[in-house]
Structure 1
Amino acid sequence: MRVDVTNAAPPDTVIDRAARVAVAAAAEAGAAIRAGLAGALSVRTKDESGDLVTDLDLRAERIILGHIRRAFPEHRILAEEAGLLDSMDDAWCWVVDPLDGTNNVAVGLPVCTVGIALCHNGVPVVGVVHEPIPDRTWSAVRDRGAIGPNGLLWRPEHRPTKAPTLAWLQGYPVTRTDTAARALRLTLEASSRRLIQLWSPLLCWVMLSRGDIDGFVGYRAGLVDLPAGALLARESGIHVTDFDGAPLNDFFDPEGAEVDFIATRPELVSELTLLVKSAADVTVTGLPG
């Protein structure tokens, strides 16, 4: 009998083992980052976008790739620094951001995370986010809920507020002259209690999942942070949509481009979608290019 592997569910034994490997790898990488922040830091520019890389990014990535390669040598890997590493089984793809928040670390601000996800036939099935400084790990397995640092499932209680606290993310290709980005940011800032931009998207996903903030808006966001962060949020009860309010397709294409998204609690989806759409009527003038 022919089996349709595209729709076949991945074996639980693989997922369980992958979750353990991801948690261990993220924690060890986090310990290396935590130790490295106490010493001198080597920083250089990666490309014309101005994106940075440090010796801690490379050290953490080597640790994570070592864990994955030892446990699953046949799996494909997309790593922030090493790029796409092909292998025998393309059905499985790991997505690794060894240090999300490099620009923070480069200016002496220790706000960063480690992100690891595993996708099966393009669908995220494991997501792990580790915070190196407080040494806390947040993880999720698809359809099994989200797990906090205490090892227990959680679904946060959200505090009522008159105006939402929101996080904002724009991708590296977005320039200062991007009028849509300017209008979106101004609209969100004017309608929220606070609009934060942490330069560590995975930490924003964690804060949203914990209930610390009410929503997260991404404009032309890169894909490397999305599988782990969005899975964590979804398993915490967060809705993730496109700018029209339709559920965001969580299929991950390792060769894909940017994505626009809104992530928030179910009761705020309509409100935040209307807010994002209203930015199309905003014209920002008088700012330098």
Structure 2
Amino acid sequence: MDRLEEFKQFAIELAQKGGEMMLEANSKQLGVDTKQHRTDFVTIYDRAIEKYIFDSLKERYPNHRFIGEESAGANNRLESNDPTWIVDPIDGTSNFVHGYPLCCVSIALAIDRQMVVGVTNAPFLKKMYTAVKGGGSYCNGEPIYVSRNVRRIEDAMILLEANYDPRDSDSRRHVFDSLLWKCQSVRHIGSACVCMAMIAEGVAEIFLHHNLCIWDMAAGYVLITEAGGQVCQYNGKPFDPHSGSCMGAANDELIRLTEEVTKNGY
């Protein structure tokens, strides 16, 4: 546990610096480019923050492994038991480009292929979320917990992130329609990492996304589970950071009910 706390504290330092770089960004000089499609943005700050974080980690822990959104390429799978750092330098880059504050720096650590440290810094919200396996979840140093009293979808706020691939429109529409008229409210945040932090904090009760990468959910997995919540795949199968599918919820009952409602989609 002492070593995990050491790793967490260093991740906090790096996420704090990454957040400062986001806050200092010149909106006129973001160097915006696109990756896989027209809404998949990358900026010079994504690349600069990832480089800073990885350079710092490699200097401190030269024998560790590293997976980052902007540098992973085909090396985007957790295939070693060695300590592996997983970094999303800016999750919610589209939000960042538009000056929308729901974006963050996300850093996770896996050991023996298990997520054990999660740090998410949302600098525009002034919130630093941290968690260590077996040590609980925190926001700005204060303990946080998932929503404790909601057991029905009708009472839940759902964070439902859309995928922009038109080939998925039918199944996506089914899931949205199934939940929209049943739950209390639906929100589209634009950052999976922020969404998962909000579930851990008890702001909302259910998070759904079916097209994520490992860096989108690694830190959030630790945050939610250490806050007392549950994380699995869309179909209820155990969490797999390579499946692309993620459902996070405050409790098992909401997992079961959501799976039941959306079983014909995604």
TM-score per shorter chain, which class? 0.7 to 0.9
- Name the SS for the 2:161 alignment partner: strand
> Quick one: which amino acid aligns to residue 211 of structure 1?
G
Which residue of 47, 51, 57 corresponds with 1:58?
47
In structure 1, the residue matched to 2:13 is 24
In structure 2, the residue matched to 1:78 is 67
Q: Counterparts of 1:163 and 1:57 in 2: how far apart (Å)?
A: 37
Highest CA radius of gyration, 1 or 2?
Answer: 1
- Name the SS for the 2:263 alignment partner: helix
Question: Within 5 A, what are the aligned runs for 1:272-287?
Answer: 272-277=258-263, 279=265
Q: Could you say if the C-alpha distance between residues 107 and 148 of structure 1 is closer, same or farther in structure 2, counting changes exceeding 3 Å?
A: closer
Percent pairwise identity: 24
Question: Within 5 A, what are the aligned runs for 1:32-181?
Answer: 32-36=21-25, 40-48=29-37, 50-83=39-72, 84=75, 91-149=82-140, 151-158=141-148, 162-171=154-163, 174-175=165-166, 177-181=168-172
TM-score by length of 2: 0.87
Q: Is the 8 A contact 2:83 2:112 kept in 1?
A: yes
Structure 2, gaps ≥5 residues long: none
In structure 2, the residue matched to 1:285 is none
Q: In the alignment, is residue 263 of structure 1 matched against residue 254 of structure 2?
A: no
Shift of 1:274: 1.5
CA RMSD of aligned residues (A): 2.5
Shift of 1:35: 1.1
Q: Could you say if the C-alpha distance between residues 98 and 22 of structure 1 is closer, same or farther in structure 2, counting changes exceeding 3 Å?
A: same
TM-score by length of 1: 0.81
Shift of 1:264: 1.1
Structure 1, gaps ≥5 residues long: 1-11, 281-289
> Quick one: which amino acid aligns to residue 100 of structure 2?
L
Per-residue deviation, residues 62-99 of structure 1 (Å, max 9, x unmatched): 2211221121111111011111499xx86111100000
In structure 2, the residue matched to 1:7 is none
Q: Could you say if the C-alpha distance between residues 96 and 187 of structure 1 is closer, same or farther in structure 2, counting changes exceeding 3 Å?
A: same
Shift of 1:224: 1.5
Which residue of 199, 212, 221 corresponds with 1:230?
221
Q: Counterparts of 1:54 and 1:213 in 2: how far apart (Å)?
A: 30
Q: Counterparts of 2:20 and 2:211 in 1: how far apart (Å)?
A: 31
Q: In the alignment, is residue 196 of structure 1 matched against residue 187 of structure 2?
A: yes
Q: How many corresponding residue pairs?
A: 259
